[in-house]
Structure 1
Amino acid sequence: MVIEFLKFKVTPGTREDYLQKDTAIWTTVLAKYPGFLGKEVWINPQDSTEIIFIIRWATKEQWQAIPLEDLQAIEQKFAQAVGNTYELVESKEYQVQ
């Protein structure tokens, strides 16, 4: 299993809207791809602007097989839905042993 770790900063006061739209757009689409095992959302109780996503993939190959054009189209749709309210501040990959 591979973990995709994404850390975002959102504009103060936009977290709940951001999370609702992320679930409706990103999670819904990613769930249709082979290898998607699930997604956790971690919120920082000390910082309401920080959101961490833990996305579980069966294999790195399945995760990386998502066409770049698809990812760009999803991101464009998401950006239109939430506007300029977020920034990706960290992206990592982990393997589960």
Structure 2
Amino acid sequence: MFPRFAPLLACCLAGLLILSPWRVDAASSASTADRPTAQAPITVEMLRLAVPVALRDAWLSAEAEVWKPWLEQQPAYLGRDLYWDSQQEEGHVFIRWRSRQEWQAISEAEVAPVQARFVAAINQATGGNDEDPIPLTFASQGLLLARDLPRDA
């Protein structure tokens, strides 16, 4: 009926879509177990570690033996993912926390003995005596805005 206005209407609708603020819907982007509320996005601690191929298995064992049980005792802990880059010989650890405030409330005094047990576990597995066999090379944090899982997961 108004063919002259169709392009104008399409441009206006496209402009509204582009200019309107986008928001991630918690129900569609992450399971409710991983995302407590839309107002409090999950904080992700992102760590990069120097993990040479010769220490990869010892690193994974020490992570499972030392860090995993300790993390699971922390009330704000929601889970973690471990990756290994074979070309760079780096480990990447992404730890999900319910909130930045709860994560930051964990003191260095609580973390230090866990790190010492981690180092001891690696040295025991490798027969080494290094002060820091798997050094931290980068640490950052971010907010989890969306998490896509395969349909069959």
2:29 paired residue number: none
1:2 paired residue number: 43
TM-score where L is the length of structure 2? 0.59
Q: Kindly provide the amino acid, as one letter, of the partner of residue 95 in structure 2.
A: I
Richer in strand (by share): 1
Q: Which string of whole-angstrom CA distances, capped at 9 and with x for unpartnered residues, describes residues 10-40 of structure 1?
A: 2341101111111110111011111100010
- List structure 1 segments (4+ residues) > 6 angstroms apart after TM superposition: none
**DSSP 3-state at the match of 1:86:** coil
- Percent identity reads 23
2:134 is the alignment partner of 1:86: yes
Number of aligned pairs?
A: 96
2:73 is the alignment partner of 1:25: no
Q: Which runs of 5+ in 2 are unaligned?
A: 1-41, 124-129, 146-153
- Structure number with greater CO (CA < 8 Å, separation at least 6) is 1
Instruction: State which structure, 1 or 2, has the greater radius of gyration over its C-alpha atoms.
Output: 2
Q: Which runs of 5+ in 1 are unaligned?
A: none
TM-score where L is the length of structure 1? 0.89
1:35 paired residue number: 76
Q: Kindly provide the amino acid, as one letter, of the partner of residue 116 in structure 2.
A: Q
Q: Which string of whole-angstrom CA distances, capped at 9 and with x for unpartnered residues, describes residues 24-62 of structure 1?
A: 101110111111000101111433x21000000010111
**DSSP 3-state at the match of 1:34:** coil
2:98 paired residue number: 58
CA distance in 2, matches of 1:46, 1:80: 26
Q: Kindly provide the amino acid, as one letter, of the partner of residue 89 in structure 1.
A: T
